[in-house]
């Protein structure tokens, strides 16, 4: 089965490519006629809401630049686009429909889709320490962090990769691969202890469908569900509380732990803590920076620690970089600490056990 959300951009281009466009308004058609007036072969239209343009492979970039320069964002998002190898689309092509804005973003961010298709990715791991543990104690847990490389071997900044995946309609694919890569890499390394795995709730359509692959992989690798903690990221973008509860319900029924990331930032506030009742809350690193010297931040963090403690939730402060920050957090009652002070994200070969 072909899935447009999972296909790299190259799979959508041919020599030549027929771009078949369903347009939201007649004005959009008029704009395209003017923009591509000199194109050969000419833009074809037999309906006020339809246009087709045959584009040689070498001119696809120019076609996309013209399209995005001609239309505003709303107009571009309103287009429905199908690509075929030079023929009008048939019923078998309907599963390849994308909106125009997604297609443009996928083309411009094709380094992401190319990296995924070529397998140029892995998981690195950062230790999480028990706040009161001696320095020589093993980490309480490790957080898995997804890493991708472009064709030249340069690391693609993770934030950019996930943003581009979101803009190009591939967040589901990237998030799924990141979760699966995390557990597979940890299993190969023989890691013991707890493993924190990030996931973006915006990538989950139906928990039973979208999350079962990760759960099945964990079971196949012989990892213990009670050692796996799924960490909700980008919670400030979530708006459907019932959907979030369904996701957490799925994970808890399977025996996994749940953490909320970026507590104290954006929408990740006390209401989210109350509604979801996670096993762990991670305090946003911006809140932790210079906590030992900022009385306003201290008052917020003390309140969050107390709320977590009263509700049986373990508190994790991330972004700890100095001994002074760590000392203050320990004294204030943090359960877990994470940050460059205790170790940077590292590939498996260097992570140790």
66 and 42, same structural domain? Answer: yes
Domains of the chain: total? 2
Q: What is the pLDDT of residue 235?
A: 53
Structural domain range at position 46:
9-108
**Arithmetic mean of pLDDT, 98-103:** 91
145 and 17, same structural domain? Answer: no
Strand partners of residue 230: 197, 258
* The domain boundary residue, chosen from 83, 108, 133: 108
CATH classification of the domain holding 161: 3.20.20.450
Q: How confident is the model at residue 183 (pLDDT cuts 50, 70, 90)?
A: very high
269 and 319, same structural domain? Answer: yes
305 and 272, same structural domain? Answer: yes
Say what percent of the chain tops pLDDT 70.
91
Q: What is the pLDDT of residue 2?
A: 36
**pLDDT tens-digit readout, 315-331:** 999 999 999 999 999 99
Instruction: Show Cβ contacts of residue 11 under 8 Å, excluding neighbours closer than 6 positions.
Output: none
249 and 159, same structural domain? Answer: yes
With vertex at residue 293, the alpha carbon angle to CA 291 and CA 296, rounded to the nearest 5 degrees, is 70
Whether pLDDT at 197 is above 70: yes
CATH classification of the domain holding 50: 3.30.70
**Arithmetic mean of pLDDT, 276-286:** 91
Chain centroid offset of residue 263 CA: 18
* The domain boundary residue, chosen from 77, 108, 139: 108
Whether pLDDT at 205 is above 80: no
Chain centroid offset of residue 313 CA: 25
136 and 103, same structural domain? Answer: no
236 and 98, same structural domain? Answer: no
* The domain boundary residue, chosen from 108, 127, 145: 108
Q: What is the pLDDT of residue 5?
A: 46
**pLDDT tens-digit readout, 220-253:** 888 899 999 999 886 545 567 887 888 888 888 8
48 domain-assigned: yes
155 and 188, same structural domain? Answer: yes
1 domain-assigned: no
Mean pLDDT of the chain: 87
229 domain-assigned: yes
264 and 136, same structural domain? Answer: yes
214 and 73, same structural domain? Answer: no
């Amino acid at each position: 089965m072909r899935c447009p959300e999972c296909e790299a951009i190259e799979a959508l281009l041919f020599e030549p490519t027929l771009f078949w466009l369903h347009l939201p308004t007649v004005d959009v058609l008029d704009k395209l006629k003017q923009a591509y007036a000199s194109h050969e072969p000419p833009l074809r239209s037999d309906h006020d809401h339809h246009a087709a343009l045959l584009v040689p492979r070498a001119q696809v970039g120019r076609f996309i630049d013209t399209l995005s320069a001609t239309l505003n964002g709303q107009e571009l998002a309103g287009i429905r686009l199908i690509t075929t190898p030079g023929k009008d689309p048939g019923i078998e092509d309907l599963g390849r429909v994308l909106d125009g804005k997604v297609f443009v973003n996928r083309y411009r961010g094709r380094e992401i889709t190319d990296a995924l298709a070529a397998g140029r990715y892995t998981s690195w791991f950062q230790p999480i320490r028990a706040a009161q543990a001696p320095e020589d104690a093993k980490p309480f847990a490790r957080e898995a962090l997804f890493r991708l490389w472009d064709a030249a071997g340069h690391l693609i900044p993770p934030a950019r990769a996930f943003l581009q995946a979101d803009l190009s309609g591939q967040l589901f694919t990237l998030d799924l691969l990141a979760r699966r890569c995390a557990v597979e890499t940890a299993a190969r390394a023989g890691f013991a202890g707890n493993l924190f795995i990030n996931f973006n709730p915006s990538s989950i359509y139906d928990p039973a469908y979208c999350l079962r692959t990760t759960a099945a992989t964990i079971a196949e690798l012989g990892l213990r569900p009670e050692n796996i903690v799924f960490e909700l990221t980008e919670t400030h973008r979530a708006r459907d509380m019932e959907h979030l509860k369904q996701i957490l319900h799925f994970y808890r029924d399977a025996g996994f732990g749940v953490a909320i990331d970026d507590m104290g930032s954006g929408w990740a506030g006390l209401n989210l803590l109350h509604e979801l009742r996670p096993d762990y809350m991670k305090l946003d690193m911006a809140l932790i920076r210079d906590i030992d010297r900022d009385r306003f931040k201290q008052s917020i963090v003390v309140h969050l620690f107390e709320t977590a403690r009263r509700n049986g939730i373990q508190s994790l402060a991330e972004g700890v970089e100095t001994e002074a920050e760590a000392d203050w957090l320990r004294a204030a009652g943090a359960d877990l600490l994470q940050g460059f002070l205790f170790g940077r994200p590292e590939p498996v070969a260097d992570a140790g056990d």
